């Protein structure tokens, strides 16, 4: 008894093969990005404890010393070890950057849930506020908030969080609009389940995935923005070891002491790349469009 093979759709097979290859490729992004972020977090937590030098007070006698055995990444104008200051700066970059995104995520998620589920006047007020904030260029609005609050690390934290939450609010709002019409949500309403319980148990778990993926990507953007603001003198004030401020201090000596700006710049680039790879890998693993 012979068996007849059914014809296979070549285009469908090719599409499935490409999809598998794409998943494998992006799963590598998740592994590399997640591993790099883990290393950066460990460096930020443990690195300063192992540092040999003081990040604030330097030795003028070793001013502008090039990279060598005593100072792996050289010293700056005030004789401070660049490597030590980069280790301490990692705490500021990752801690403040992740903190800003976390606050923005919580505020935006709450706003998007309430506006999308209840609708009506509440939705109009909240989402029109979001539209007004988004209408302004991102960095211009952050600088405007800093003009009111003044320069400093905490004002930068507040300014970025105040502006950044609107993106999460719009993202969550658009997803809640479709989920609130699902049958299981209608069944919960019909059985008298309180609205807060519906939001917490049935709506939030279905909308938070996309926001979490975007947050991992957003951390890299916030870190780059913080470096830019610190470069302009609007962030952490000297002598705080901050990567953006270190780049700004070293630009005067870029031809004679290139290491002062180069190594902090590499740290900013690698940190942004690590979080971008992590977000890209998460988006593929959770099948979130990006």
Does 73 reside within a domain? no
Q: What is the pLDDT of residue 258?
A: 95
Does 10 reside within a domain? no
How many domains does one find in the chain?
A: 1
Task: Please report which confidence band the pLDDT of residue 243 belongs to, taking 50, 70 and 90 as the band edges.
Answer: very high
Q: What is the pLDDT of residue 27?
A: 64
pLDDT tens digits, 64-95: 999 999 999 999 999 999 999 999 999 999 99
Does 11 reside within a domain? no
Task: Please report which confidence band the pLDDT of residue 144 belongs to, taking 50, 70 and 90 as the band edges.
Answer: very high
Q: What is the pLDDT of residue 21?
A: 53
pLDDT tens digits, 220-229: 999 999 999 9
Q: What is the mean pLDDT of the chain?
A: 86
CATH of the domain at 151: 1.10.3720.10
Assess whether pLDDT exceeds 90 at residue 143: yes
Q: What is the pLDDT of residue 203?
A: 87
pLDDT tens digits, 9-25: 444 444 445 554 555 45
Does 261 reside within a domain? yes
Q: What is the pLDDT of residue 119?
A: 87
SS3 assignment for the chain = CCCCCCCCCHHHHHHHHHHHHHHHHHHHHHHHHHHHHHHHHHHHHHHHHHCCCCCCCCCHHHCCCCCCCCCCCCECCCCCEHHHHHHHHHHHHHHHHHHHHHHHHHHHHHHHHHHHHHCHHHHHHHHHHHHHHHHCCHHHHHHHHHHHHCCCHHHHHHHHHHHHHHHHHHHHHHHHHHHCCCHHHHHHHHCCCCHHHHHHHHHHHHHHHHHHHHHHHHHHHHHHHHHHHHHCCCCCCCCCCCHHHHHHHHHHHCCCCCHHHHHHHHHHHHHHHHHHHHHHHHHHHCCCCC
Q: Identify the residue with better confidence: 154 or 16.
A: 154
| Average pLDDT of span 277-283 | 86
Does 72 reside within a domain? no
Does 32 reside within a domain? yes
| Average pLDDT of span 168-184 | 88
pTM of the predicted protein model = 0.83
As a whole-number percent, the residues of the chain with pLDDT over 90 amount to 56
Q: What is the pLDDT of residue 288?
A: 63
Does 187 reside within a domain? yes
Range of the domain at 242: 25-50+78-285
| Average pLDDT of span 47-57 | 88
Does 7 reside within a domain? no
């Amino acid at each position: 008894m012979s068996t007849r093979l059914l014809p296979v759709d070549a285009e469908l097979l090719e599409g499935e093969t490409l999809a598998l290859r794409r998943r494998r490729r992006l799963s590598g992004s998740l592994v590399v990005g997640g591993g790099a972020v883990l290393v950066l977090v460990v460096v930020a937590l443990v690195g300063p404890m192992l540092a040999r030098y003081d990040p604030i007070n330097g030795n003028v006698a070793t001013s502008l010393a090039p990279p060598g055995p005593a100072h792996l990444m050289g010293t700056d104008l005030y004789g401070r070890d660049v490597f030590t200051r980069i280790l301490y700066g990692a705490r500021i970059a990752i801690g403040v950057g992740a903190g800003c995104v976390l606050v923005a995520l919580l505020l935006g998620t709450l706003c998007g849930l309430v506006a999308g589920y209840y609708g009506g006047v509440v939705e109009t007020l909240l989402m029109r506020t979001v539209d007004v904030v988004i209408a302004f260029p991102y960095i211009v609005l952050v600088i405007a908030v800093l003009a009111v609050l003044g320069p400093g690390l905490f004002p930068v934290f507040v300014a970025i969080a105040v502006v950044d939450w609107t993106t999460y609010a719009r993202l969550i709002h658009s997803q809640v609009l479709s989920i609130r019409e699902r049958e299981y949500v209608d069944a919960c309403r019909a059985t008298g389940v309180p609205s807060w319980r519906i939001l917490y148990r049935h709506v939030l778990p279905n909308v938070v995935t996309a926001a979490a993926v975007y947050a991992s990507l957003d951390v890299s953007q916030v870190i780059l923005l913080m470096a830019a603001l610190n470069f302009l003198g609007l962030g952490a004030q000297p002598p705080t070891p901050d990567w953006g401020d270190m780049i700004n201090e070293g630009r005067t000596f870029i031809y004679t002491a290139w290491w002062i700006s180069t190594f902090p710049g590499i740290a900013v680039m690698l940190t942004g790349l690590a979080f971008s790879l992590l977000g890209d890998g998460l988006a593929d693993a959770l099948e979130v469009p990006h």
